[in-house]
Structure 1
Amino acid sequence: MPARVSAITAPAVQAAAPRAPFWTMRRRDALAGYLFVAPQLVGVALFVLMPLALVVWYSLHEWNVLAGSFDYTGLQNYQALLEDPELPGVLRATALFSAGLVVLNLSLALLLAVLVNQRLRGMTVFRALFFSPVVVSLVAWTIVWGFLLQKDGGINGILAMFGVAGPNWLRGETTALLSVIVVQVFKNVGLNMVLFLAALQTVPRDLYEAARIEGAGRCVQFRRITLPLISPTLLLASIITIVGSLQVFAQIAVLTQGGPGISTTVLVYYLYQQAFQFHAFGYGSALAVLLFAIVAVLTLLQWQLRRRWVFHES
């Protein structure tokens, strides 16, 4: 009889047991985290992922705004990329521009950071002076440099004082590309300089003192101590600079309009010409997809190679 009573009352006891609350501490923390990141996720979805998907969709169509037509063509625009006779020259100009910009920008920024990192009077003024072009309007900066680089502009005026006849910088195939690179380097070198300066100031001074005691010179200290310890910042600056170099448009549009010939027609400006001047929006979208692929491959390549030269990466 007692066994029967216990068997009957067991389900009742189980039913009366209190349930665990749904909103546990862990779930409340997770909900708070999702709410904090929701605005950023919505922004990325609306302004990054959706436009990227639309560009890929447009690249599969022939879209003529003037005629009002929007016809599906499949991979025809990508086939046109392979057959475009001007695209190799555009890619060559893009590669030369990006390589020159990255090398000069990073080298000059690191040199300036080392110089202004000295504990001397007036260094704050020099830091502000080198960084000031970053906050100047890009179009205004480019227009001023356009006047300076003319045949009778300020650069050639300075050279004439030393008996040197300067060229028409923006009309020669070699000098035009070099001029645009220099203008862009001087515009943004201050940003990388500030990044390198912040990294240099985190390097422990004790390491330099120990190296001097061991007889290491300044070059050895820079190569064996400074560069390894600021290598994470070098990686960040290189990624930012390479991606930025592939997106330069305003300087080309204001200074050279892609000329002479196509010597300064980088991929972004060629994309603009095809889409907004020739109204070939489908082909322009295919060029945009190509640009995205190049940026993604270069970024992933740098990220994979970081294990070989970035300190503390394994």
Structure 2
Amino acid sequence: MIVITGATGRLGSQIVHRLLERVPADRIGVSVRDPAGAAGLAARGVRVRRGDFSDPDSLADAFEGAGQILVVSANDTGETAVAQHTAAVDAARAAGAKRILYTSHQAAAADSLFAPMPDHAATERYLARAGTPYTALRNGFYASTVPLLLGQALETGELIAPADGPVSWTAHEDLAEAAAAIVADEGRFDGATPPLTSGDALDLEDIATILTELTGRTIRRVVADDDEWTAGLIGHGVPEGQANLLLGMFHASRRGEFATTGPALADLLGRATTPLRSVLEAAVAR
């Protein structure tokens, strides 16, 4: 049996649906905090059980009988996230899983300036020491982040944000399809995968250019002062910790942490990756 955690989240749910195209439903299980939210999967024959990284005892039942377990990374950061991931790894090993997969990031590194990246690196190190064969999916940066960075750009004509650098913006849909292919083809990757990214790395200047083309009106990239931008977020109700985390994303992109791209994702898909332009077209249409 293949067990997918976080199966009601944006990435996990799409992985399960893609996996159902490749594997019979009775070979798939999901571990979710609220089984009621996965009623649709249960109706299709998927085994649905409660599993919560913060409640390790629940994972024993959720992971029972699994040959492979895909751990979708937690939304938390820091020690909390690493503790949740290691609890999932420990539970997977205790359940007798033959392979553990984990949704990591192409920029996973202990010295990253963006807080989630050291968490991914720590989890990968734990997996490497655990002794069970594993695959760390080195996913590109989610393209769905970009609309959140636009602010009022479509209304004001100014895309205001701190100085940035190129990012390998990658669609959830592509990453989900690739994850399903890797899980279905057991043992395809041992250890960390190559970067699973779109073919291009674009910065906000590039994004402003695409928006200008899509809207027919000039969208100008305006570089904001770090402190002023962060203070503005806090002034609009964003918690200080979250604002500083977001600023770290810009610091990391300036250093080129997210600029790596590669052909591995397209090779897995057997087609070109989804361009960021498609994501922006949807944002403009809204």
TM-score under structure 2 length normalisation = 0.22
More helix per residue: 1 or 2? 1
TM-score normalised over the length of structure 1: 0.20
Indicate the structure with greater strand content: 2
Instruction: Kindly indicate whether structure 1 or structure 2 has the higher relative contact order, using CA contacts under 8 Å at least 6 residues apart.
Output: 1
User: Which one has the largest radius of gyration?
Assistant: 1
